[in-house]
Amino acid sequence: MDLAVLQAKKLVPISCLNEGGAGRIFDAVEHDGPTVVMYNGHPVCVLLSPKQYEAMLEMLSDTLLLEEAESRMAMNDDTKNISQEEMMRTLGINQEELDAIDVEFS
């Protein structure tokens, strides 16, 4: 069995969905976590709540961003880096001017 099946807390046969048990199964997914639907003894899908699915996508996104950041850091040539102070002198700005700027991130 694969990782999703092993991590799911519950296995249900597909016949439970066909026999009108879907509402009960969906409630259990929300309360107990992922549920694997089995067909002929094999996993055919994993049921997740929308909240669990969003959390999984967020984790995947964070992992991909971390990999990209690590890749960029590995390719960085530190000999070309300059200090913040040197950059500020080059641009002709000082710390007080930076502090006065109001920046919002959305």
Give the domain CATH number at 4.
3.40.1620.10
Provide the residue range defining the domain that includes 8: 1-76
Q: Does residue 102 form part of some domain?
A: no
Answer yes or no: is 86 within a domain: no
Establish if 92 belongs to a structural domain: no
pLDDT in tens, 23-55: 888 988 988 889 999 999 999 999 999 999 999
Q: List 11's β-bridge partners, or say none.
A: 36
Total number of domains constituting the chain: 1
The tokens for 103 are 């920046």
Dump pLDDT digits (tens) for 81-100: 899 999 999 999 999 998 89
User: What global pTM score does this model have?
Assistant: 0.59
User: 4 lies in a domain?
Assistant: yes
